[in-house]
């Protein structure tokens, strides 16, 4: 997936997650992490790619049990994780 495509998916996922903001701090932190992933994808450097990989890995693991409730967000995190893994090599 190209960076521009991933940015669109991150933006769509942010809109979805924003609907769940009232569910608690866990969701708020996920929104902030998604925003950071978007910033990194928009302007990646060697250092921020490592940060993005760490964030994407953590989010992927944390969202895993809830993926069926927010499948588009889960798919976005799958794609982000792949993107960061490719860029970090």
> How does pLDDT run across 26-67, given as a tens digit for each residue?
999 999 999 999 999 999 999 999 999 999 999 999 998 988
Range of the domain at 25: 3-87
Element (H, E) at 44: none
> How does pLDDT run across 64-87, given as a tens digit for each residue?
898 899 999 999 999 999 999 999
Query: Structurally, how many domains does the chain consist of?
Result: 1
Give the contacts of 62 (CB within 8 A, at least 6 positions apart). 26, 30
Query: Is the model's pTM score more than 0.85?
Result: yes
């Amino acid at each position: 997936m190209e960076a521009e495509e991933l940015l669109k998916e991150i933006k769509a996922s942010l809109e979805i997650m924003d609907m769940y903001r009232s569910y608690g701090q866990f969701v708020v932190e996920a929104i902030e992490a998604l925003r950071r992933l978007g910033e990194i994808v928009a302007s990646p450097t060697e250092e921020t790619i490592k940060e993005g990989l760490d964030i994407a890995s953590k989010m992927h693991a944390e969202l895993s049990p809830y993926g069926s409730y927010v499948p588009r967000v889960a798919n976005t995190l799958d794609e982000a994780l792949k993107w960061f893994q490719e860029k970090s090599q």
